[in-house]
């Protein structure tokens, strides 16, 4: 490493790294020092996940503010990530072992100001104007919804001074991050390029020195076995290899067989979308009921849609059960509002959660997987709500119908989804395949990691929203007039349906 720059030396000498990171054995990584020593106006870093790049740029912003009164702005993929940058900055400032630092004059969730005039602003990924001479940091740039617009807006910011730093794990072979990093279409002069895969990180690799020399020429499985620590090996064992390569090895996954592309997913992702997530393993947890109650509260407060369609992909021991609810919005837009994941949970408990969804939310249709072990659960749920709950069979024909409908809706910008990596990867994992008998099949790669359960729950919910059960939609308006309220109408329809079933 060449002689450290002023800001790098400042942080190495004065920052209590273990205290500011919360990691007892924290140390400066090679790529971090290299980043801090760069004086290039433009720098792009194709990087592994979880290597503390966000912490690094927060530290650089604090050093620039303390040393030279330089201001910085962070662009993140969503509001939570934007807030996190300010948390990092506060921790770094608090753990500088120096007296006489410029005092903080303003401190909120999305910004810091100091007595010397320097500012640190954090934005949830929307294009910024003004901010002359700021340093601009585009964090997880490839995953930003407005990736190209953010870059276009950043260039005038540095007209009179400042620098641009873009860092991200890849998101398919498309987008402005990919274009600049690979220069596939044209040259981007003045850019300094850096690639940092997992094996160059002390926190991931058992032997960084040897891995930097040998790992690039190895297959993924071989380098993980030889150089990956226990955690990296466990992560690799639980991810499809192409996902691992993109998340940790700086590889752009080919889009040629993906049914829904990264660009389409990114266009649908809304960092400000209200969506409630909950997960339970083995047994029921309060988090599940709380997520349902939160959505019910948002509905009551008129903050989200008034009616919902639900898709349920059933799993037990190998796969998870996914329960997704989309709102039926104006202009036939169907935003995703609820995502519940149940892992290895008994079917009786799963049934109780389904009934809680039905009883707490204004659901007009629930499509539920009745294949295999899920058949009894689907049948029992349908007996409770025979009008609204529709058991469906997963066949090549029905999966083709659901996958095609989901693609059409996402291309029409009618399916807002939250910024969630696992959801995005499962949507992208669906492939259009042609079998040996020339049949068209839509499915994910047959591995033991996941079977795109989240995608299918989402696709079922969209099908329920886009093509609701005709019985419900045809009868309900007339029943509301007869019974005086929607609740009484739905109850009356279901009582009649139960009586009809008993007669049969």
**Distance between CA atoms of residues 204 and 208, nearest Å:** 9
Residue 389's DSSP bridge partners are 366
Give the pLDDT of residue 263. 85
* C-beta neighbour count of 331 within 10 angstroms: 5
| Model confidence pLDDT, tens digit, residues 8-43 | 999 999 999 999 999 999 999 999 999 999 999 999
- Name which of 173, 443, 459, 428 is nearest 324 in CA terms: 459
Q: Which residue has the higher pLDDT, 421 or 460?
A: 460
pTM over 0.85: no
Of these ranges, 65-69, 125-129, 342-346, 423-427, the one predicted with the greatest mean pLDDT is 65-69
Between 220-227 and 241-248, two packed helices, what is the crossing angle to 10 degrees? 60
| Model confidence pLDDT, tens digit, residues 359-407 | 999 999 999 999 887 788 999 999 999 889 999 999 888 998 999 899 9
| Model confidence pLDDT, tens digit, residues 83-95 | 999 999 999 999 9
| Model confidence pLDDT, tens digit, residues 430-477 | 987 766 555 668 887 654 455 789 999 999 999 999 875 544 444 444
The CATH number given to 6-196 is 3.40.50.300
Q: Indicate whether 169 pLDDT > 90.
A: yes
Residue 279's DSSP bridge partners are 341
The mean-pLDDT minimum among 141-155, 351-365, 482-496 falls in 482-496
| Model confidence pLDDT, tens digit, residues 477-504 | 444 455 555 455 555 545 544 443 343 3
Q: Which residue has the higher pLDDT, 283 or 278?
A: 278
Question: What average pLDDT does the segment 78-106 reach?
Answer: 96
Give the pLDDT of residue 258. 83
Give the pLDDT of residue 475. 43
**Distance between CA atoms of residues 481 and 478, nearest Å:** 5
Residue 280: burial class (beta carbons within 10 Å; 0-12, 13-18, 19+): buried
Q: What is the DSSP letter of 256?
A: T
- Pair 174, 112: CB distance under 8 Å: no
Give the pLDDT of residue 311. 97
Same fold, 6-196 and 262-468: no
Q: Indicate whether 182 pLDDT > 70.
A: yes
List, as one string, the DSSP characters of 392-454. E---HHHHHHHHHHHHHHHHTT---B---HHHHHHHHT-EEEE-TT--EEEE----SS---HH
487: CB partners within 8 A, 6+ apart: none
**Distance between CA atoms of residues 235 and 3, nearest Å:** 36
| Cα angle 257, 261, 262; round to 5 | 130
* C-beta neighbour count of 65 within 10 angstroms: 25
Residue 121's DSSP bridge partners are 73, 111
Give the pLDDT of residue 447. 47
- Pair 277, 420: CB distance under 8 Å: yes
Question: What average pLDDT does the segment 262-286 reach?
Answer: 91
Mean predicted lDDT score pLDDT of the chain: 88
Give the pLDDT of residue 469. 52
Q: How many residues does the chain have?
A: 504
User: Structural domain boundaries of the chain?
Assistant: 6-196, 208-248, 262-468
Give the pLDDT of residue 478. 45
| Model confidence pLDDT, tens digit, residues 39-67 | 999 999 999 999 999 999 999 999 999 99
Architecture of domain 262-468: 2-Layer Sandwich (3.30)
Report the phi/psi class of residue 229: left, alpha or beta, with left for phi > 0 and alpha for psi in -120 to 50.
beta
Residue 309's DSSP bridge partners are 326, 365
Give the pLDDT of residue 358. 96
């Amino acid at each position: 490493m060449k002689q450290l720059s002023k800001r790098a030396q400042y942080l190495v000498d004065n920052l209590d790294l273990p205290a500011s990171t919360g990691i007892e054995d924290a140390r400066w990584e090679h790529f971090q020092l290299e980043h801090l020593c760069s004086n290039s106006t433009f720098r792009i870093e194709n990087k592994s996940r979880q290597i503390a790049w966000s912490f690094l740029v927060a530290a650089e912003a604090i050093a620039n503010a303390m040393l030279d009164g330089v201001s910085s702005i962070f662009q993140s993929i969503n509001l939570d990530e934007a807030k996190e940058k300010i948390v990092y900055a506060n921790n770094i400032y608090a753990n500088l072992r120096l007296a006489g630092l410029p005092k903080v004059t303003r401190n909120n969730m999305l910004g810091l100001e100091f007595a010397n005039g320097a500012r640190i602003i954090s934005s949830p990924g929307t294009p910024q104007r003004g901010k002359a001479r700021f340093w601009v940091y585009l964090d997880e740039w490839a995953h930003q919804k407005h990736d190209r617009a953010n870059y276009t807006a950043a260039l005038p910011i540095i007209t009179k001074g400042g620098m641009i730093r873009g860092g991200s794990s890849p998101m398919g072979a498309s987008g402005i991050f990919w274009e600049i990093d690979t220069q596939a279409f044209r040259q981007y002069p003045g850019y300094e390029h850096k690639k940092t895969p997992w094996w160059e990180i002390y926190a991931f690799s058992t032997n960084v020195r040897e891995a930097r020399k040998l790992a690039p020429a190895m297959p993924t499985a071989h380098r993980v076995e030889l150089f990956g620590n226990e955690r990296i090996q466990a992560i690799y064992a639980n991810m499809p290899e192409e996902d691992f390569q993109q998340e940790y090895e700086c590889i752009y996954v080919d889009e040629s067989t993906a049914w829904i592309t990264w660009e389409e997913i990114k266009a649908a992702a809304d960092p400000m979308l209200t969506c409630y997530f909950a997960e339970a393993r083995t047994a029921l947890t309060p988090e599940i009921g709380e997520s349902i109650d939160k959505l019910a509260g948002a509905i009551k407060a008129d903050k989200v849609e008034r009616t919902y369609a639900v898709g349920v992909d059933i799993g037990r021991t190998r796969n998870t059960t996914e329960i997704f609810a989309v709102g039926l919005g104006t202009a036939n837009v169907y935003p995703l509002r609820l995502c519940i994941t149940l892992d290895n949970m008994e079917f009786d408990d799963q049934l109780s959660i389904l009934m809680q969804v039905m009883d707490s939310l204004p659901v007009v249709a629930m499509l539920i997987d009745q294949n295999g072990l899920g058949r009894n659960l689907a049948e029992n749920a349908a007996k409770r709500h025979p009008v609204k709950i529709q058991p469906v069979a997963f066949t090549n024909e029905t999966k083709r119908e659901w996958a095609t409908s989901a693609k059409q809706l996402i291309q029409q910008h009618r399916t807002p989804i939250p910024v969630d990596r696992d959801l995005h990867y499962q949507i992208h994992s669906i492939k259009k395949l042609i079998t040996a008998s020339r049949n068209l099949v839509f499915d994910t790669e047959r591995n033991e990691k996941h079977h795109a359960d989240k995608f299918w729950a989402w696709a079922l919910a969209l099908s329920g929203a886009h093509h609701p059960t005709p019985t419900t939609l045809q009868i309900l308006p007339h029943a509301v007039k007869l019974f005086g309220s929607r609740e009484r109408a739905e109850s009356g329809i279901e009582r009649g349906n139960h009586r009809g079933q008993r007669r049969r």
